[in-house]
Chains A and B, each alone.
Chain A
């Protein structure tokens, strides 16, 4: 399985940006980088994905390093509803492989 490394947990204050790092040194040229999040007692929810270029959508931004060995998910203004486990995943062989993710806590 394609392996990613994320910090176990991160804390943020409400209304402040959150930068979630992810290392994926074994990434291959065709692997897409996906981010999902899982709110308490819910199924995972798609956040964003990219291949080489930085990506933006209404939920977040994804910054991908030039060598693609790392990426950063950016939540521009954290809200209490953003408290969740965030998973960085390399999409390989048409499958998602979930790791343990980063638990994000947002302080009011």
Chain B
């Protein structure tokens, strides 16, 4: 079955280190998204992509970057991790831009010490 996976599921890192979170989908969806969710809050959009070589900033993009070299993957990089980036990160993908039904991965819990 097609799916969307994230790795690692849990990560502990130190302030200042570069961290990359992986997202892989097998639906061949054009659209991919990264969100973060902090305790007791809804999801906030970090970056998104509508296809290979396309990337766009979301509402909380500072300190994060993405690249889209193929359809299946959208890795999220924290250039220099900060304690404020401790959060749960969700990746999602969708096929139809107009109605945009998104399918979410299981999440990565990141702790920055």
Interface of A is mostly: loop
Q: How far is the CA of A46 from the CA of B96 in the complex (A)?
A: 14
Binds B, one of A9-17, A19-27, A37-45, A64-72: A37-45
List A31-51 residues whose CB lies under 8 Å from chain B.
32, 34, 36, 42-46, 49
With A43-B90, A43-B92, A49-B99: A98-B104 Cβ-Cβ less than 8 Å: no
One digit per residue, 1 when the CB lies within 8 angstroms of any chain B CB and 0 when it does not, for chain A 69-108 equals 0000000000000000001000100111111110000000
Determine the distance from Cα of A100 to Cα of B41 in the docked complex, in whole angstroms: 5
| CB nearest to A98 among chain B residues | B42
Knowing A49-B99, A91-B100, A94-B97, the reply to whether A43 touches B42 (Cβ < 8 A) is: no
Report B98 CB to chain A, min CB distance, Å.
8
